[in-house]
Amino acid sequence: GDSVTQMEGPVTLSEEAFLTINCTYTATGYPSLFWYVQYPGEGLQLLLKATKADDKGSNKGFEATYRKETTSFHLEKGSVQVSDSAVYFCALTPWGYQLIWGAGTKLIIKP
């Protein structure tokens, strides 16, 4: 069945470091791909999305490119801040209403 695999956390970085959180997927057809973020004490919110191969989603300095050949959607940011500390979820929607979720990656940024 369809699935999403994320790198395990926590990922700990210093402020201004480069961030990569890996996400790979298994799906039939042409799913849309998403990154959601959950800040401490809050619900999830959409960070960025891509709906077809080679699309790049971007928001708040974060980017991810839909790579069909490697079935990946890695999240990157050039210079992280303490305020980026959160849990990041990769997800895909193969059809209809539902989202298939990764397990989440906790990111800790130290000043």
Partner 1 sequence: DVKVTQSSRYLVKRTGEKVFLECVQDMDHENMFWYRQDPGLGLRLIYFSYDVKMKEKGDIPEGYSVSREKKERFSLILESASTNQTSMYLCASSFSDRPSYNEQFFGPGTRLTVL
Q: How far apart are CA 68 and CA 5, in angstroms?
A: 15
- Number of other residues whose CB lies within 10 A of the CB of residue 24: 17
44 binds partner 1 (CB under 8 A): yes
CB 25 within 8 A of CB 72: yes
Among residues 41, 69, 70, 111, the one that binds partner 1 under rule CB under 8 A:
41
CB atoms inside a 10 Å sphere around CB 29: 7
Q: How far is the CB of 88 from partner 1 (least distance, A)?
A: 11
Among 43, 69, 70, 111, binds partner 1 (CB under 8 A): 43
By CB under 8 A, name the binding residues for partner 1.
31-32, 34, 41-46, 49, 51, 89, 93-99, 101-104
